[in-house]
Every structure is written in C-alpha cells, then in structure tokens.
Amino acid sequence: MKKVLLLLLAIAGVAFAGEDGIKVLKVAENASGLASFSVIAAGVGLGLAALGGAIGMGNTAAATIAGTARNPGLGGKLMTTMFIALAMIEAQVIYALVIALIALYANPFLS
C-alpha cells in the first residue's frame, strides 16, 4: 500500500510541475493542464479496473478448480459457468477502457 501511495504522489508531482506552480493549479484557465489530468485519470482508472478484473478472474478460476477437485463430475458445468463469469468480469474492464478513451479523445471539459 505504501508503494502505491508513493507512486501516486510521484505522478501528482509530475502533473503539478511547471514553470509557475500557481498557474498550473488553475486548471480552468489552462486547457493543457486539464488534458494532462485527463490522461493521468484515464491511466489510473484503467489500471485499477484491470487490477480488479484480474483479482476477480483469479478468484473465479480458483473457485472453479476447487469445485472440480471436489466433484469431478461437475467439471463441465463449472467450466461453462466460469467462462460466463469471466466474460462478465472482462466486460467491466472494457467499459472502463471506453470511459478512459472518452476522457482522452472526446473530453467534454476541454471545449
């Protein structure tokens, strides 16, 4: 957790770096500052979505393997259910990707 906090503080330091620190903080007047914040937000949001999806997929696979080990006769049904669950988990990550792409290329706050 400490490493994640340190990484976020390092990214924030790069985002606020500039010739005049007070001007950079006025995001409403600086469209390039808002664009850079959008890039950072899209990257962090997509990273968190991928992390959550990976954890969910790992738990799903572990539960399926444990269920198949306990009752090998249900292996086919468990695999089918697992693939449906994995598709739904991956759909959430794809939704986060779409929102990140909207934030990058069709940002309503930049116009």
Q: What residue numbers bound the domain in which 9 lies? A: 2-105
Print the SS3 string covering the chain.
CHHHHHHHHHHHHHHHCCCCHHHHHCCCCCHHHHHHHHHHHHHHHHHHHHHHHHHHHHHHHHHHHHHHHHCHHHHHHHHHHHHHHHHHHHHHHHHHHHHHHHHHHCCCCCC
Q: Which residue has the higher pLDDT, 63 or 37?
A: 63
- The answer to the question of residue 87 being in a domain is yes
What was the pLDDT predicted at 6? 67
| Interior angle at CA 44, CA 49 and CA 50, nearest 5 | 20
Report if residue 101 sits inside a domain: yes
- Rounded to whole angstroms, the Cα distance separating 108 from 111 reads 6
Rounded to two decimals, the pTM is 0.64
Per the domain annotation, does 110 fall within a domain?
no
Question: Is residue 16 in a domain?
Answer: yes
7 or 93, which is more confident?
Answer: 93
- The CATH number covering residue 66 comes to 1.20.20.10
Mean pLDDT over all residues of the chain? 80
Tell me whether residue 111 is in a domain. Answer: no
What mean pLDDT is predicted for residues 15-22? Answer: 55
Predicted confidence at residue 24, as pLDDT, reads: 44
Query: Is residue 98 domain-resident?
Result: yes
How many domains does the structure of the chain reveal?
1
Q: Is residue 12 part of a domain?
A: yes
What are 54's two structure tokens? 């990976």
